[in-house]
A and B are shown apart, each in its own frame.
Chain A
Amino acid sequence: MKINIFLLLVILGVVALWTSYSATRSPQSDSSPKEEDTSHLMPAPDFTYSTVQGKTGNLRDHKGKTLLLHFWASWCGPCLIEFPDLVELARKKPENFVILAVSTDKNLADINKFLANLDKTIPENFIVIQDGDKKISQDLYQTIKLPETYLINPDQKITEKRIGPQENWLSLDNNNETTE
Chain B
Amino acid sequence: MKKIYFFILILLCFMPYPSHGSEGTKINVGAWSSLPILHEGRVKPLDSFARVTLKSFAQTDSLRGLSASEWLALSVFDPATAVYIPAFKIRDAESYGLSKTKNRLYSYTDLGKIIRDNQDNIQKLIQIDEKEWASSQFNLMSHYQHYILYTQILRSLTLILPINEEDHNFLDFKKRQKELDQKTKSIIKNKGTDLEKYTDEEKEIAFLSYQINVIEQSANGNVLFRIIPENWEQKQTNWLSPWDIILSGKGSPKSAEYMKIWQQMAKTYHTDDVEQWSQTIESTKTYFDNPKLRVEKYYNMLNLLHCALIFYIFSFLFIVFSNLANNKKRWRNNLEKISFALLISGAILQSIHIILRIYILERPPVGTLYESILFVSLICVLGFVYAAWKQKSKIGILLGGLSGILLLTTAQGFVSEDSMGTLVAVLNTNFWLGTHVLCITIGYGTCLMASLMAHYDLFMRWQHPEKGEALNQSYQNLKTVVVLSLLFTTVGTILGGIWADQSWGRFWGWDPKENGALLIVLWLAWLLHSRVSQHLTKIGFIVGSAFLSVVVVLAWFGVNLLNVGLHSYGFISGVAFAIASFTIFELALIGGLWGLENKKRTIYEN
Most buried by B among A133, A142, A164: A142
Within 8 A of A (CB), among B95-131: none
Q: Are A141 and B256 in contact (CB under 8 A)?
A: yes
Q: How far is the CA of A141 from the CA of B250 in the complex (A)?
A: 10
Q: Are A163 and B249 in contact (CB under 8 A)?
A: yes
* 17 pairs, A vs B, C-beta closer than 8 Å: A42-B232, A42-B252, A45-B253, A134-B175, A138-B175, A138-B256, A139-B256, A140-B253, A140-B256, A141-B253, A142-B245, A142-B251, A142-B256, A144-B246, A145-B247, A161-B250, A163-B250
- CB neighbours (8 Å) of B246 from chain A are 142, 144
Evaluate whether A142 and B174 lie within 8 angstroms (CB atoms) in the complex, with A40-B233, A42-B233, A42-B253 already known. no
Q: Are B233 and A142 in contact (CB under 8 A)?
A: no
Within 8 A of A (CB), among B201-247: 232-233, 245-247
Q: Are B252 and A141 in contact (CB under 8 A)?
A: yes
Interface flag for A67 (CB, 8 Å): no
**Closest B residue by C-beta to A41:** B233
Q: Mark A108-150, 1 if CB is under 8 A from B, else 0.
A: 0000000000000000000000000110001111111100100
Name the distance in Å between A109's Cβ and chain B's nearest Cβ.
15
Interface flag for A158 (CB, 8 Å): yes
Q: Are A163 and B248 in contact (CB under 8 A)?
A: yes
Q: Are B175 and A143 in contact (CB under 8 A)?
A: no
Q: How far is the CA of A140 from the CA of B253 in the complex (A)?
A: 5
- CB neighbours (8 Å) of B175 from chain A are 133-134, 138
- CB neighbours (8 Å) of A148 from chain B are 249
Q: Are B174 and A143 in contact (CB under 8 A)?
A: no
Name the distance in Å between B177's Cβ and chain A's nearest Cβ.
10
Q: How far is the CA of A41 from the CA of B175 in the complex (A)?
A: 28
Interface flag for A92 (CB, 8 Å): no
**Closest B residue by C-beta to A43:** B253
Q: Are A144 and B256 in contact (CB under 8 A)?
A: no
Chain A: residues with Cβ within 8 Å of the partner, total of 22
Within 8 A of A (CB), among B253-309: 253-256, 259
Interface flag for B178 (CB, 8 Å): yes
Interface flag for B171 (CB, 8 Å): yes
Name the distance in Å between B234's Cβ and chain A's nearest Cβ.
8
Most buried by B among A106, A138, A140, A163: A138
- CB neighbours (8 Å) of A134 from chain B are 175
Q: How far is the CA of A138 from the CA of B260 in the complex (A)?
A: 11
Name the distance in Å between B251's Cβ and chain A's nearest Cβ.
3
**Closest B residue by C-beta to A47:** B253
| Contact for B171 among A138, A140, A143, CB less than 8 A | A138
| Contact for A138 among B174, B179, B252, B254, CB less than 8 A | B174
- CB neighbours (8 Å) of A133 from chain B are 175
- CB neighbours (8 Å) of A151 from chain B are none
Evaluate whether A142 and B179 lie within 8 angstroms (CB atoms) in the complex, with A163-B249, A163-B250 already known. no
| Contact for B249 among A75, A140, A143, CB less than 8 A | A143
Q: How far is the CA of A144 from the CA of B175 in the complex (A)?
A: 8
Q: Are A75 and B178 in contact (CB under 8 A)?
A: yes
Name the distance in Å between B61's Cβ and chain A's nearest Cβ.
34
Q: How far is the CA of A105 from the CA of B398 in the complex (A)?
A: 79
Interface flag for A44 (CB, 8 Å): yes
Name the distance in Å between B230's Cβ and chain A's nearest Cβ.
10
Name the distance in Å between B346's Cβ and chain A's nearest Cβ.
45
**Closest A residue by C-beta to B253:** A45
Q: How far is the CA of A41 from the CA of B252 in the complex (A)?
A: 12
Q: How far is the CA of A138 from the CA of B253 in the complex (A)?
A: 9
Q: How far is the CA of A2 from the CA of B255 in the complex (A)?
A: 77
Name the distance in Å between A103's Cβ and chain B's nearest Cβ.
12
Q: Are B174 and A144 in contact (CB under 8 A)?
A: yes
Q: How far is the CA of A41 from the CA of B249 in the complex (A)?
A: 19
- CB neighbours (8 Å) of B259 from chain A are 142
Name the distance in Å between A160's Cβ and chain B's nearest Cβ.
11
Using A42-B254, A138-B256 as known contacts, list a sample of 16 further A-B pairs with CB atoms less than 8 Å apart, ordered by residue number in A.
A41-B233, A42-B232, A42-B252, A75-B178, A106-B178, A139-B256, A141-B251, A142-B253, A142-B255, A142-B256, A142-B259, A144-B251, A148-B249, A158-B252, A163-B248, A163-B250
Q: Are A106 and B179 in contact (CB under 8 A)?
A: yes
- CB neighbours (8 Å) of A143 from chain B are 249, 251
Name the distance in Å between B205's Cβ and chain A's nearest Cβ.
16
Q: How far is the CA of A112 from the CA of B38 in the complex (A)?
A: 45
Within 8 A of A (CB), among B158-210: 171, 174-175, 178-179
**Closest B residue by C-beta to A164:** B249
Q: How far is the CA of A134 from the CA of B254 in the complex (A)?
A: 17
Q: How far is the CA of A140 from the CA of B175 in the complex (A)?
A: 13
Name the distance in Å between B258's Cβ and chain A's nearest Cβ.
10
- CB neighbours (8 Å) of A161 from chain B are 249-250, 252
Q: How far is the CA of A45 from the CA of B171 in the complex (A)?
A: 20
- CB neighbours (8 Å) of B174 from chain A are 138, 144
**Closest A residue by C-beta to B231:** A42
Q: How far is the CA of A161 from the CA of B255 in the complex (A)?
A: 13
Within 8 A of B (CB), among A38-80: 40-42, 44-45, 75
- CB neighbours (8 Å) of B254 from chain A are 42
Name the distance in Å between A114's Cβ and chain B's nearest Cβ.
16
- CB neighbours (8 Å) of A42 from chain B are 232-233, 252-254
Q: How far is the CA of A145 from the CA of B247 in the complex (A)?
A: 8
**Closest B residue by C-beta to A139:** B256
Q: Are B249 and A144 in contact (CB under 8 A)?
A: yes
Q: How far is the CA of A161 from the CA of B230 in the complex (A)?
A: 11
Name the distance in Å between B443's Cβ and chain A's nearest Cβ.
26
Evaluate whether A142 and B252 lie within 8 angstroms (CB atoms) in the complex, with A40-B233, A41-B233, A106-B179 already known. yes
- CB neighbours (8 Å) of B233 from chain A are 40-42
- CB neighbours (8 Å) of B252 from chain A are 42, 141-142, 158, 161
**Closest B residue by C-beta to A39:** B233
Name the distance in Å between A104's Cβ and chain B's nearest Cβ.
8
**Closest B residue by C-beta to A142:** B251
- CB neighbours (8 Å) of A144 from chain B are 174, 246, 249, 251
Name the distance in Å between A19's Cβ and chain B's nearest Cβ.
14
**Closest B residue by C-beta to A148:** B249
Name the distance in Å between A158's Cβ and chain B's nearest Cβ.
7
- CB neighbours (8 Å) of B178 from chain A are 75, 106
Q: How far is the CA of A1 from the CA of B247 in the complex (A)?
A: 79
Q: Are A44 and B251 in contact (CB under 8 A)?
A: no
Name the distance in Å between A58's Cβ and chain B's nearest Cβ.
15
Name the distance in Å between A88's Cβ and chain B's nearest Cβ.
24
Name the distance in Å between A96's Cβ and chain B's nearest Cβ.
23
**Closest B residue by C-beta to A134:** B175
Q: Are B249 and A158 in contact (CB under 8 A)?
A: no
- CB neighbours (8 Å) of A141 from chain B are 251-253, 256
Q: How far is the CA of A133 from the CA of B179 in the complex (A)?
A: 12
Most buried by A among B178, B247, B253, B259: B253
Q: How far is the CA of A141 from the CA of B246 in the complex (A)?
A: 11
Most buried by A among B175, B179, B254, B255: B175
